[in-house]
Structure 1
Amino acid sequence: MPSNNNRKRKKRERPTIHPKNKYSDNPPDFALLASLYPSFQPYVFYSRNGRPTIDWTDFNATRELTRVLLLHDHGLKWWIPDGQLCPTVPNRSNYIHWIEDLLLSEIIPKTNASGDNVRGFDIGTGANCIYPLLGASLLGWSFVGSDITDVALEWAERNVKDNPHISELIEIRKVERGNDTLSVENSHDGKSHCCESKLDLTENVGIEGKPFSSSYDLRAGVNKSYYGPPVLLGVVKDGEKFDFCMCNPPFFETIEEAGLNPKTSCGGTPEEMVCPGGEMAFITRIIEDSSILKHTFRWYTTMLGRKLNLKFLISKLWEVGVTIVKTTEFVQGQTCRWGLAWSFVPPARKIISPHVAEKNNLSFMLEGIERQYSAINVLESIKSFFCTSGASCNLNTSLFTVDITASNDHYKAILKSEEPHCDRAASCEDVQDTSITSSCLNLPKDKLCFRISVFQQTPGTLLVRGSLKQADSKISGAFSLILKRLEEVLRHKFCREKTTVYPS
């Protein structure tokens, strides 16, 4: 029977805050902030374990925390009136950095002539205007932020004007309701709780960047159609081009559902938190608008509050003809949100089939890569793997390749290197095959030159290919075992699950 420790190791690790997030290594220090900002001090108290904290059910406390974090860490002046949705800065920063990753990945080419000037569109920016403020201050992006209510528009404009160093980068645009209106039942009291809920309303379903069956079973009797003001169509002007859009949609179908969690209170108006059909209907409208606008945006993105909705929405995306779909998970403390991104732009980097047969190539797939790692991390680790043995390495981050020149002694050093620790019996069995003496490997007499290339596949999956540079070279036993050793090292360092080897 497996031990408790083994069971713990097999349990999937929970994703963490984005590594680029300012608070990844330095969480907010409430005691320090209280000493620097007297207005925040009354809201800070010490828990039983001696840690400074605040009352998360107190809207004034959460608002003041957001204010001082934006001022202290981002140099932004900010305020919202009572009742408006108060965002959490670390969580919103996660979303910004995920979009940054999408834009830097160059999976799809740029579609505008603005050069390095990134332009975003924030659907429903709110009085807080948090995404344009963070995107402009952190990365110099320009934004259009849209909204429908007079209060949201007024305070978003104030928050932009109060920060003149970035005000020219942000435009606040009013959405005309037209004939359609957003009807919200039972919302007359205007009281609600934050949609940054710690209440788990999700189901554990697997998500891959592949088409799903369109027969996803929606909850019976619930209207998932969106009836409300324009979202993108009718708001985006003719001829405009954007690198991305983003959205923190209304998560809930009723105001009662929005107030289920008594542990937090970040405000939020009915317009910000509720629409008929909830986030499913609202995001479906974004998808429908995107299918018409298509290349107007390089990336369409949105946040979700319920993981169970991803299956239907991804299925919908494939139905409307997108070229790529990506997902992620945003984590802040006990709160989880999910990100969904898609594009109609043809991929710039062709996805390589792992079954292509060439006499001088070997490849393996890295699947289940932890979200904090990117292809460049894997590439740098490949270089380190070969440099440790003394081999000559040349890293090309533009082509995502490492060129290696290795001698007989280098091969021996690699094969004699310490094997990675194995958490699973199956992994250890794979490694045991590499424990063969060098005398049996038909090691090359001369130096061997080869290239290791990394190719983007689906989200969380990379193809790693080793190619001998000599056109007439044939794969030797040593080269096969070295690629297998490399696979074990990369899998142990970057992946949640076991990889699959494909001879090619």
Structure 2
Amino acid sequence: MSTPKQPTSRSANQTKALHPNNLHNRPYDFSALVATHPPLARFVARNQHQQLGIDFANPEAVKTLNAALLQHHYHINHWNIPEGALCPPVPGRADYIHYMAQLLNVAAPTIIPAPESPFTMLDIGTGSSGIYPLLATQLYGWRCVASDINRQSLDNVANIIAANPALTSRIALRQQHDKHQFFAGIIQPGEHYDLNVCNPPFHTSEAEALKGSLRKIKNLARNRSGTDKQMSAQAGTLNFGGQAAELWCNGGERLFLKKLIKESHTFAHQCRWFSSLVSKSENVPPLTKQLRKLGASQIKEIPMSQGNKITRVLAWSFTEQ
């Protein structure tokens, strides 16, 4: 059995300023997580402060932690993603769902898995993890449609659902066949959603994505023992994984969201709230300006933070609430 690298100091308490309803406001209980999901054990070690944690620069360790969190807190078994796929941090993704529930005036969850609810959610670009519909169904009982342009990604989510039979009636999968469309071909005539969620690709190219990954690795290296040689070897690996459609697109986040906003207007009466993560704060003013021109009745910028990472949700509606 290999010896895990020394975990970063932030691994024991990496989450702060999360939504008050987020289960991950407290440090990870690695002993409980290992008891629920034994494969995590080989990645857990004590850091220089004698706190249990994992090496967050190791994609396999992060993926296994995700599987443990989803099994222990959300009763989702056998979660897995293909090698190289985007591995979303569960606490931050849960935050997005909690803020959307607050936007919809939905009460905090009292039991997980939650009983089925009449609320409906559309996830644009669910990826191979299916993380947003998985969390939304377990936390709030919402019925979800998860879409993606990649058939292999949807097949992987289908495998996760098949391993958790209670989810089969709550999550539907739909493939987007037109790379220039977001809602068309997914939202059917007569369908109505309470909200959509989206985590857009925010880089303009693979080179930019790799640069961002190297920056993350350098930040992690400051808090753990490691050599420049080790860091250089990891530089070609995207921290938390991720492939082309997940991390970068022509025009990056801003152009992606401009197109999404434009098309959302066409489906204004079939979705109560549209929303998306916005990684770069400088993109918010031009997107807000576009929404005003399209006649959005409500526009909300919702700040979120996890550890040192600051992001935000942009939410908008064309109907009176």
- Which TM-score band (shorter chain)? 0.7 to 0.9
Larger Rg: 1
Larger RCO, structure (CA 8 Å, separation 6 or more) = 2
Partner of 1:256: 207
Q: Which runs of 4+ in 1 moved over 6 A?
A: none
Cα distance in 1, alignment partners of residues 277 and 59 from structure 2: 23
Partner of 1:67: 67
1:229 aligns with 2:180: yes
Q: Confirm or deny: 8 A CA contact 1:327 1:340 kept in the other structure.
A: yes
Q: AA paired with 1:152? A: S
Q: Confirm or deny: 8 A CA contact 1:145 1:170 kept in the other structure.
A: yes
Partner of 2:230: none
Q: Confirm or deny: 8 A CA contact 2:120 2:193 kept in the other structure.
A: yes
Partner of 1:97: 98
Q: Where do 1:224-303 residues align within 5 Å?
A: 228-260=179-211, 261-262=213-214, 263=216, 265-303=239-277
Higher helix share: 2
Q: AA paired with 1:327? A: E
The alignment's C-alpha RMSD in Å is 1.8
Where in structure 2 are there 5+ consecutive unaligned residues? 1-15, 108-115, 218-238
Q: AA paired with 1:18? A: H
Which secondary structure does the structure 2 equivalent of 1:237 belong to? coil
Q: Confirm or deny: 8 A CA contact 2:37 2:71 kept in the other structure.
A: no
Cα distance in 1, alignment partners of residues 163 and 202 from structure 2: 30
Q: AA paired with 2:41? A: Q
Which secondary structure does the structure 1 equivalent of 2:155 belong to? helix
Q: Where do 1:37-436 residues align within 5 Å?
A: 37-77=37-77, 78-104=79-105, 117-177=118-178, 228-260=179-211, 261-262=213-214, 263=216, 265-347=239-321
Q: AA paired with 2:192? A: K
Identity of aligned residues (%): 33
Q: AA paired with 2:210? A: G
User: So what's the TM-score if we normalise by structure 2?
Assistant: 0.82
C-alpha deviation, 1:167, in angstroms: 1.8
Distance 1:71 1:117, change over 3 A: same
Where in structure 1 are there 5+ consecutive unaligned residues? 1-14, 107-114, 178-227, 348-504
| Cα deviation digits, residues 125-155 of structure 1 (max 9, x gap) | 0110001011001111001100111220110
| Cα deviation digits, residues 77-96 of structure 1 (max 9, x gap) | 21111011111110000000
Cα distance in 1, alignment partners of residues 106 and 164 from structure 2: 30
Q: Where do 1:443-482 residues align within 5 Å?
A: none
Q: AA paired with 1:150? A: R
Q: AA paired with 2:199? A: N
Q: Confirm or deny: 8 A CA contact 1:121 1:144 kept in the other structure.
A: yes
Q: Confirm or deny: 8 A CA contact 1:31 1:44 kept in the other structure.
A: no
User: So what's the TM-score if we normalise by structure 1?
Assistant: 0.53
Distance 1:105 1:54, change over 3 A: closer
1:22 aligns with 2:52: no
Cα distance in 2, alignment partners of residues 105 and 323 from structure 1: 21
Aligned residues between the structures: 274
Cα distance in 1, alignment partners of residues 142 and 83 from structure 2: 29
Cα distance in 2, alignment partners of residues 27 and 117 from structure 1: 33
C-alpha deviation, 1:229, in angstroms: 3.3
C-alpha deviation, 1:338, in angstroms: 0.8
C-alpha deviation, 1:33, in angstroms: 2.2
Q: Confirm or deny: 8 A CA contact 1:129 1:145 kept in the other structure.
A: yes
